[in-house]
A and B are shown apart, each in its own frame.
Chain A
Amino acid sequence: MSSLMSIKNMSVNFDTPGGSLEAVRGVDIEIPAGMSVGVVGESGSGKTVMCRAAMGLLQGSTVNRTGTVIFDGHELTAMSKEQVRELFGSGMAMIFQDPLTALNPVRRIGAQLSEGLRIRLGMSKSDAMARSKELLELVRIPNAAAVLKSFPYQLSGGMRQRVMIAIAIACNPKLLFADEPTTALDVTVQAQILQLLRELREDLNMSMVLVTHDLGVVAGNTDYVAVMYAGEVVEYAPTKKLFADMRMPYTEALLDSIPRVDHKSGTRLSVIAGRLPDPTHRPAGCGFAPRCKYAQDKCTTDHPELKTDPDGHVYRCWFPIGEAL
């Protein structure tokens, strides 16, 4: 299977007054063409920084990115800011968690939606407006003509996220980064938006990176999953394989700690004690060792390397689940 984006050994450090903060370290991810890859983890695990760094959105003197990112034959890490920007819209696009802050509050939806069409595809103003209306219909917004003339504050959260999706797909991108696209929405609206994304991906043959903290969202909407912890990918596998046969103790603990509608009521949840390690002082061994119920002495001293099973299941653990000690 050909890979649309390949991230190799990417690390991101931020210079802070408290020292260097290692937000992402040594991440390797392949995004196969036409597939949907989920990125899960707790707040602060580096999910968002990883996506933004891959797209080249993190800039400034305090950001240090190393490693290579290759997208559709372009080595993004060797290109200038301007060259990478040329790929936005028609190559890569992104939707964000909070559609209200991502949209410009003082511009009408039509202006924000047609901007990319005019700049990237060179459309005339009237053509771009006509296409904008089609795009709003494509994301199932009723009364598209009226919405074109509206301001973001006049729309509900679900409608705003639909507008964001319309803007993102306007120039037919090959890869869509969706950073917690449904976290701010009600569960019924979340289901609608996820269904819309599934249908659009199929119709437009678009790949997607879906960042979320919700393993439920991952289970129903992705082909592959990368689990992140303390800035690293700690497990990567096809979604069905991951849920059927977890190797990484962290993934198991995360799944066990969430309440589920398909469990009996009053079920006590198992708890992951403690919290994420301080990103300015990463521990020498495995970052999860202090919270892991399977941890041995070796885990606190030696940093585990990525291991790959013959079937391509990748994990970062000295004592993976299912292996005798």
Chain B
Amino acid sequence: MAGSGTAHMRNTVDSVLTVRDLTVEFRVGNNKTVKAVSGLSLDVVKGETLAIVGESGCGKTTLVRAILQLPPPNSGEVIFDGTDLTLLPKENLRSARTSMQMIFQDPISSLNPRMTVHQLLDEPLEIWDRGTRAERDERINKLLFSVGLEPDLVLNRRSYEFSGGQCQRISIARALALDPRMLICDEPVSALDVSIQAQILNLLLFMKETHGLTMLFISHDLAVVKAISTRVMVMYLGKICEVAPPDVLYSNPAHHYTRALLNSVPIPDPTKQIRTELLQGEPPSPMNPPSGCRFRTRCVGASALCAEQEPQLREVSPGQFVACHHPIV
């Protein structure tokens, strides 16, 4: 799609996070503006894992950073736990962030190499004054156990002494230290080897169940997304194409872009190779996105209408929303 709309919003009381009409633009000189995220709305219900997928440059990371107010969006609302984060004074925002924690793509560079594992995990607890020293130490031990690390062996070591997979376990322990309600994972397994990737994905699934977490999960890997998500949102050039439960989206994609993405995924079975028409070219520049539907320049189903009118999200099957004038039926 590359369209707008709010048909996919559920507006229930269970919403942990509601984003309305969020826009993020960056001035890049010469009076040019990168339109990274344009009028995007989403909601995440308690216990859900919403995955955001799309190619590099589609605005996935900018979107979640804007949710965390890093930096704040140009316009739009970000309502977390009933409070609009865009209106909060700095000090209140700091405390609100304790309940929404982030895990990054590169586990090694996201940990301070000068701090020991004990210091890394103690820092948030100390800043927010969670318990006495002994209570904090006990909490750190529990956290490390829960992510599959032996506290006695790791507490006094630093990040460079660990492998990528172990560092990601430490990052997860640190993100969970303050008992957040929501975990935001930005490509948490892309930098890891396949065998380690499975360990971390299973750990995230386990943590989500045991801590009752709600998750936002960004990935460019559709197979990873299918394994972990309960709802999937496909983005293209700062807009939503399609929102649906994973099994529906993967078996019956309604948007031409979703289908093209799925057809590009290599399947590890020589007897199941699909050789369809591939998506040609690369996404246009977000400084000058196409009129109407932003995907129309690469879309096989595009018509004159797509250039004139921006498609709005609408429900095509229960729980499946698509922004396309000519969806695949």
Q: Is the Cβ of B278 less than 8 Å from the Cβ of A243?
A: no
Contact status B264-A258, CB under 8 Å: no
Of B4-12, B122-130, B220-228, B308-316, the stretch lying at the interface with chain A is: B220-228
A284 within 8 A of B: no
Whether the Cβ atoms of A240 and B271 lie closer than 8 Å is yes
Whether the Cβ atoms of B267 and A213 lie closer than 8 Å is no
Contact assessment for A257 and B226 in the assembled complex, using a CB-CB cutoff below 8 Å: no
Q: Tell yes or no: B101 within 8 A of A by CB.
A: no
Q: Which of A29-37, A95-103, A269-277 contacts B (4 or more CB under 8 A)?
A: A269-277
Q: Using Cβ atoms and an 8 Å threshold, which residues of chain B touch A188?
A: 55, 260-261, 264, 278-279
For A190, give the chain B residue with the smallest CB separation: B264
Least CB distance, B214 to chain A, in whole angstroms:
16
Q: Which residues of A contact B282 (CB under 8 A)?
A: 156, 158-159, 189
- A309 CB to nearest B CB, Å: 18
- Closest Cβ–Cβ distance, residue A197 to chain B (whole Å): 13
Interface locus among B88-96, B199-207, B317-325: B199-207
Residue interface bits A247-289, CB-to-B below 8 A is 1, else 0 = 0000001110111111111111111110100000000000000
A124 on the interface (CB 8 Å rule)?
no
Nearest neighbor of A159 in chain B, beta-carbon distance: B282
Chain A residue total in the interface (Cβ 8 A):
49
Chain B contact surface mostly: helix
Stretch at the interface among A7-15, A115-123, A215-223: A215-223
Supposing A42-B195, A272-B198 touch, asked if A187 and B221 sit within 8 A by C-beta, the answer is: yes
Pick from A186, A219, A265, A271: contact of B195, CB below 8 A. A271
B194 at the interface (CB under 8 A from A): yes
Minimum C-beta distance from B32 to chain A (A): 16
Chain A residues with CB under 8 A of B221 = 187, 259
Query: Would you call A132 an interface residue if the criterion is a C-beta within 8 Å of the partner chain's C-beta atoms?
Result: no
Q: Mark A86-112, 1 if CB is under 8 A from B, else 0.
A: 000000000000000000000000000
Interchain CB contact under 8 A, A257 and B198: yes
Complex Cα–Cα for A42 and B280 (A): 31
Within 8 A of A (CB), among B180-216: 193-199, 201-202, 205
Binary contact readout B218-254 vs A (1 if CB under 8 angstroms, 0 otherwise): 0011111011111000000000000001110010000
**Cα(A252)–Cα(B250), bound, Å:** 25
Given A216-B265, A259-B227, the answer on whether A187 and B273 have CB atoms closer than 8 Å is no
Q: How many residues of B contact A (CB 8 A)?
A: 47
Q: Is A59 an interface residue (CB 8 A)?
A: no
Interface membership of B113, Cβ < 8 A = no
- Is residue A191 contacting chain B, with contact meaning CB distance below 8 A? yes
**Distance of A260 Cα from B267 Cα, bound (Å):** 7
**Please, which residue of chain A has its CB at the minimum distance from the CB of B54?**
A186
| Minimal beta-carbon separation of B136 from chain A (angstroms) | 30
For B276, the closest partner residue in chain A by CB is: A191
Q: In the complex the two chains form, is B267's CB within 8 Å of A261's CB? A: yes
Q: Are A254 and B195 in contact (CB under 8 A)?
A: yes
Among candidates B220, B245, B250, residue contacting A187 with C-beta atoms closer than 8 Å: B220
Chain A stretch 163-222: residues in CB contact (< 8 A) with chain B: 186-192, 194-195, 213-220
Q: Determine whether A239 belongs to the interface, using a CB cutoff of 8 Å to chain B.
A: yes
Knowing A187-B261, A259-B224, A259-B226 touch, does A219 contact B194 (C-beta < 8 A)?
A: no
Docked complex Cα distance between A181 and B126 (Å): 46
Evaluate contact between B269 and A258: CB separation under 8 angstroms: no
A255 close to B222 (CB less than 8 A): no
Give the shortest distance, in Å, between A98 (CB) and chain B (any CB). Answer: 14
The complex places the Cα of A159 from the Cα of B282 at a distance, in Å, of 9
The verdict on B266 contacting chain A, using a C-beta distance below 8 Å, is yes
**A296, CB-defined interface residue at 8 Å:** no
Do B226 and A261 touch (CB < 8 A)? yes
CB distance from A169 to the nearest CB of B (A): 20
In the complex the two chains form, is B269's CB within 8 Å of A219's CB?
Answer: yes
Query: A157 vs B220: C-alpha distance in the bound complex, in angstroms?
Result: 15
The contact of A269 among B163, B227, B264, B271, by CB within 8 Å, is B227
In the complex, what residues of A have CB within 8 A of residue B228's CB? 266
Using a CB–CB distance below 8 Å, which chain B residues touch chain A?
55-56, 163, 165, 193-199, 201-202, 205, 220-224, 226-230, 245-247, 250, 260-273, 278-282
CB-CB nearest 7 A-B residue pairs: A216-B266, A265-B246, A259-B227, A191-B264, A215-B268, A269-B198, A257-B198
